[in-house]
Chain A
Amino acid sequence: MDLANFFIQLLNSVQYGLLLFMLAAGLTLIFGIMGVVNLAHGSFYMLGAYLAWSLSALFGSLSLAIIGGAALSVLFGLALEWLLFRHFYERDHLDQVLLTFGLIYIFEELRSILWGDDVHGVPIPELLSASIPLTDNLSYPVYRLFMSGVCLALAAGLYFLISKTRLGMKIRAGAFNRDMAEALGVNIKLIHAVVFALGVGLAAVAGMVAAPVASVYPNMGSQVLIMCFVVVVIGGIGSVRGALIAALLVGLVDTFGKVLLPQVAGMLVYILMAAVLLYKPEGLFKQ
């Protein structure tokens, strides 16, 4: 592997890692704050991708589609939280697993009824369709840099929201001790709804920015969900910082594994996970 190729793979790893982080952050926040295991988190990623496909055809612009899609998916998250999830905060993990597994089925079929079962491509906007030449025969697509940029901006925004704002303080207080925070006047119900909608929105935006590269197809949610689990397990559940580091690690191992050891690439991240579990059964950054 020469230097230019290495550099490209490195950029790809970071881009994939950041995408995984957007998903894993929502998953780990929803678990860390509400104590809910959400198997349907991958469905929100799928929802985002299909929204990007429909809305970019409707508006003729991917950026408008992303803004509109993000708003729609946040509303969807709020409705879902109000209708179903809030009744399951105090329930057993097993009940939550079943509820969200049932939801996967429902979402998959609704997707099939609304959007059909074909694979779709979402065109890359003209502005971002160029490539940056690295050597004579290697170049890097601008769109992938744009993806990384969006993910980085959202990650920074999330960090700012949670660690610097008043709302973030309340979120942390609620995660640390629900009863105490409530006694101090924090509206926990509202916080839960906000965090849930935030998680759904992050997953959907991840699906939307990934759509032009990864294309849009049935079952795309469950593949990504399993990767998110690996990230969350490695990073330590409930830890957003852990999710970021684990996502980048998984991105590296997966991308370079596919290039250097294609025979066992599918297994490498799981081997990484097993190694981490041996060393730290609660993940690297258990809070």
Chain B
Amino acid sequence: MTQANMEILPRGVQVALFLGLAALLAFPFAGTEFYTEMVTRMMIMAIFAMSLDLLQGVTGLVSLGHAAYFGLAGYALAFLTPQGEPVSLWWTLPVAVLGSGLAALIIGFFVVRTRGIYFIMVTMAFAQMVFFLFFDNKALGGSDGLYINFRPSAALFGWVPFELDGKRTLYYFTLAAMLLVYAFLRRLLWSPFGRALAGIRVNEHRMRAMGFYTFGYKLTAFTLAGGLAGLAGYLWGTQTGYINPELMGFQMSAHTIMMVVLGGMGNIAGAMVGAFTFEYLLHVFKDLPQVGSVNLGKHWQLWMGLFIVLLVTFAPRGLLGLAGRLGKRGMDKENQGE
């Protein structure tokens, strides 16, 4: 992966992120209920995309099966929630996240040995295996999936700090989770561990020659990313109250790769921006009007496909990359003027 990663965010992007945060904080008071739910979903996808960026952008491992860990945590919530009452948030959330992390650890043991294109194919194949495990077994919900009748309860020894049943509380809970994940991954990016991962992206052979046990580093990153994807999956299950094998499928994984690339890889912020943009585009494409006898919205995949092909042909470094490049060009011109 030779593409330059903008790991240090330009001042302009930092300002934009702060403005975005302010907008997110105020949103539930301005937007309708429908859009509040939509933004909640966007934030969940942002967590998911950031977890993938740890692999794809930071370490240079393109996983085409990341949705498996997302879906597994959702299933964990579905299995842990009893038929007639909510389950406690405080132990099911860690269990779901650890469960996804454990699955990633086991699968990672196999996939991390492979490299490049092999890694892409093998991650996809293992995710497909998990998909079929759930798809083929009636006991695990089968192709219809499972309903989660109650959102988890946040009650602690009779004290209820907040109710996830409320749309706004779930919104702010998700926002807090997203900010925590962002802060954690940004911190990780600049830790010795994160620098080693970036070193693996640039040249794994050299890292190994310098004495780094790269298998262990990559496996740790894979496990961590799986756990964080689990956090997103748990929130998804909480929000939608429904979980099915499609959430672990190939398309879901490919969408997430797309989000990370769209926003710009390797700086965690890009994944967040990409997730919001991608989900918004999906919404726009699905909402296109009827023109003559053709329902444009019904064929949203066509517009999405064209968009993807155009983007990858003309702007392979994503939106933040494009912004960065334009900004740099502006700066160069200023410098020339002096």
Do these two chains interact? Answer: yes
- What 0/1 pattern do residues 94 to 132 of B give for CB contact below 8 A with A? 000000000000000011011011101110111011001
Q: Most A CB atoms within 10 A — which of B56, B299, B301, B304?
A: B301
Contact residues in B for A282 (Cβ distance below 8 Å) = 114, 118
Q: B301 touches which one: A97, A105, A267 (CB < 8 A)? A: A105
Given contacts A233-B122, A237-B117, 12 further A-B contacts (CB under 8 A): A93-B120, A97-B254, A99-B308, A99-B312, A101-B258, A102-B304, A105-B305, A267-B133, A270-B132, A274-B110, A281-B114, A282-B114
Q: How far is the CA of A39 from the CA of B254 in the complex (A)?
A: 11
Which residue in A102, A104, A281 is a CB contact (below 8 Å) of B312? Answer: A102
The majority secondary structure among interface residues of chain A is helix
- Segment with Cβ contacts to B, from A109-117, A160-168, A195-203, A208-216: A109-117
Is A169 interfacial (CB 8 A cutoff)? no
Task: Give Cα A102 to B254, complex, Å.
Answer: 10
Residues of B contacting A138 with CB < 8 Å? none
Residue ID in chain A nearest B310 by CB atoms: A102
Residue A222 is within 8 A (CB to CB) of chain B in the complex: yes
Does B313 lie at the interface of the complex (its beta carbon under 8 Å from any beta carbon of A)? yes
22 contacts between A and B (CB under 8 A): A87-B313, A92-B2, A92-B3, A93-B62, A93-B116, A94-B1, A94-B257, A98-B258, A98-B308, A99-B313, A102-B307, A105-B301, A109-B305, A113-B299, A226-B124, A230-B125, A263-B137, A267-B136, A270-B125, A271-B129, A277-B113, A281-B113
The answer to whether A98 and B261 have CB atoms under 8 Å apart is: yes
B62 CB contact (under 8 Å) in A97, A113, A267: A97
A266 at the interface (CB under 8 A from B): yes
| Minimum Cβ distance to chain B for residue A26 (Å) | 15
B residues at A contact (CB < 8 Å) = 1-3, 56, 62, 64, 110-111, 113-114, 116-118, 120-122, 124-126, 128-129, 132-133, 135-137, 250, 254, 257-258, 261, 299, 301-302, 304-309, 311-313, 316
Contacts of B304 in A (CB 8 A): 102, 105
Chain A residues lying within 8 Å of B128, measured Cβ to Cβ, are 226, 270
Shortest distance between the CB of A217 and any CB in chain B (Å): 15
Q: Do B312 and A95 touch across chains, with their CB atoms under 8 A apart?
A: yes
Q: From residue B316, how far is it (CB to closest CB) to chain A in Å?
A: 5
In the bound complex, how far is the Cα of B301 from the Cα of A103, in angstroms? 10
Interface range, A side: 35 or more
Residue interface bits A226-245, CB-to-B below 8 A is 1, else 0: 10011011000100000000
**Cα separation A237 to B111 with both chains bound (whole Å):** 15
The reply to whether the CB of A265 lies closer than 8 angstroms to some CB of chain B is yes
Q: Which residues of B contact A226 (CB under 8 A)?
A: 124-125, 128, 250
Closest chain A residue, CB of each to CB of B258? A98
Residue in B3, B64, B125, B133 whose Cβ sees the most chain A Cβ within 10 Å: B125
- In the assembled complex, the Cα of A233 lies from the Cα of B116 at a distance in Å of 12
Does A91 sit within 8 A of B, measured CB to CB?
A: yes
B133 to chain A: which residues have CB within 8 Å?
266-267
Residues of A within 8 Å of B261, CB to CB, are 94, 98
Q: Is A84 an interface residue (CB 8 A)?
A: yes
**CB-nearest residue of chain A to B1:** A92
Whether B135 contacts A266 by the Cβ 8 Å rule is yes
